[in-house]
Amino acid sequence: MPGKGTWTLRYILLNVAYFAAFCTIHACAAVYLLAHGFSNTEVGVLLAIANITSAISQPYIAGIIDKPGWLTNRRFIFISVLTILAGSLILMAAHDIKAVIFIVYVVIYMIQFAYQPVMTALCFEYQKAGCSINYGLARGLGSAGFAVTSMFVGKAVESFGVNLLLGINVTVMAISAVLIFTFKKPEAALQTGTEQSDDSKAPAPEGKAHNNIVEFARTYPAFMVFLAGTICFYFAHNMINDFMIQIIRNLGGGEAELGYANFLQAILELPVMALFGYILKKISSDKLLLVSGVAFFVKILILIFAVDMAGMYLSQSFQLFAYAVFIPAAAYYVSNTMEELDQVKGQAYVTSAITVGGVFSNLLSGIILDNLGIKPMLIMGTAVCAAGVIIAFAAMLKLPHHR
């Protein structure tokens, strides 16, 4: 069986490729779409539709993966990367046909969000099969991949145009397809008869699956109420990320500064995620989720008072305590508190909550931005995030984590 370093390296490469594409598809969505004639409101509507379809599909996909059958974590990721690759090639050929761009961009944006929780579930699945993977390190280096891509893209788009983003998509999705195709469990795990092979799933683990959302909520009340807080956090987080180029232009910057800002927030995620296993020994995952919520609030609050790019960079530095803490804390919280048959759904519900936050942000932010401007948009985001902090504290400190 490959050693710890080998499995971790392979999972690192999957994460780096994923987040390189996340940069070009998600972080640069407004840059690409505005350059192809979309208004701020149209960008918001497009991203809202993509997020709605993603939020609806993720728990459904997770429910299928959790059941014995053909669709596994690995196979779903493989299908997803091939679809994004094909969509990027279509966009290259579409040029300025807005209807085609709208439909295809919705699809690739939605699918990339949809397979993010499956990437997390894949790690924990392989860990249980005896493959020693350092999730925090891999996820942190994925963020570093996002950071490096952001730094490169910021200047390159100014020189070569936004269609460069599509070339990056095709390249990293082709790499992802090769990686996930060869990402197979060791023979020793398959011979135990307790793990799934590449051709079929193993018998279902012991325990009860809670596939009905009402039953799931009754079983994990703290988690489900916390998801409402998560929606609020990511309302603010997505507002900043999806309309960052407009915020930066308002502060006197441009595409290069967008790259620097994305690089800063992403590279700061690496040390926290890489050391997360150690941090968990000191602070429990539920407390860390609360820390992250407060940091999301401070991050957007700073932008209300920012007058230049220094304020933007200060805001982005709080990624160290916000997103960098939230993502691994949520993954470990689900893995530690939920039954095995519910864990893919749990990861999917987290991503769905993140996505729903993006839906409301997309629907409202573009309209407010077009009609009222940057500051009113940021004030609204700050108020929503403050409500999320209150909800999160009530959920994690007052409600049971498992029935």
What's the domain count of the chain?
Answer: 1
Which residues lie closer than 8 Å to 278 by C-beta, 6 or more apart? none
Query: 365 in a domain, yes or no?
Result: yes
Question: In CATH, what number is assigned to the domain containing residue 326?
Answer: 1.20.1250.20
Q: Does residue 114 lie within any of the structural domains?
A: yes
Residue 317: Cβ-neighbour burial (10 angstroms; 0-12, 13-18, 19+):
middle
201 occurs within a structural domain: no
Residue 81 lies in a domain: yes
The reply to whether 198 falls in a domain is no
Using only C-alpha atoms, the chain has a radius of gyration, in whole angstroms, of 20
Backbone angles phi, psi at 203, to 5 degrees: -55, 145
Residue pair 299/336 in contact (Cβ under 8 Å)? The answer is: no
> End-to-end alpha-carbon separation of the chain, Å?
38
pLDDT at 320: 86
- CA atoms of 325 and 276, how far apart (whole Å): 8
Report pTM.
0.73
Whether 202 is covered by a domain: the verdict is: no
The answer to whether 285 and 333 are in contact (CB under 8 A) is yes
Residue 211's pLDDT band (cuts 50, 70, 90):
low
pLDDT in tens, 70-122: 778 888 999 999 999 999 999 988 877 888 999 999 999 989 888 888 888 88
Q: Looking at 97-101, 193-197, 207-211, 281-285, which range is the least confident one? A: 193-197
Residue 216 burial (C-beta neighbours within 10 Å; 0-12, 13-18, 19+): buried
> CA angle, corner 395, sides to 331 and 208, nearest 5?
55
Judge whether 203 lies within some domain: no
Can you tell me the distance from the alpha carbon of 154 to that of 51, in angstroms, rounded to the nearest whole number?
Answer: 25
Asked, for residue 200, whether it belongs to a domain, the answer is no
Q: Which domain holds residue 326?
A: 4-191+209-398
Nearest-5° Cα angle at 89, 105 to 51: 20
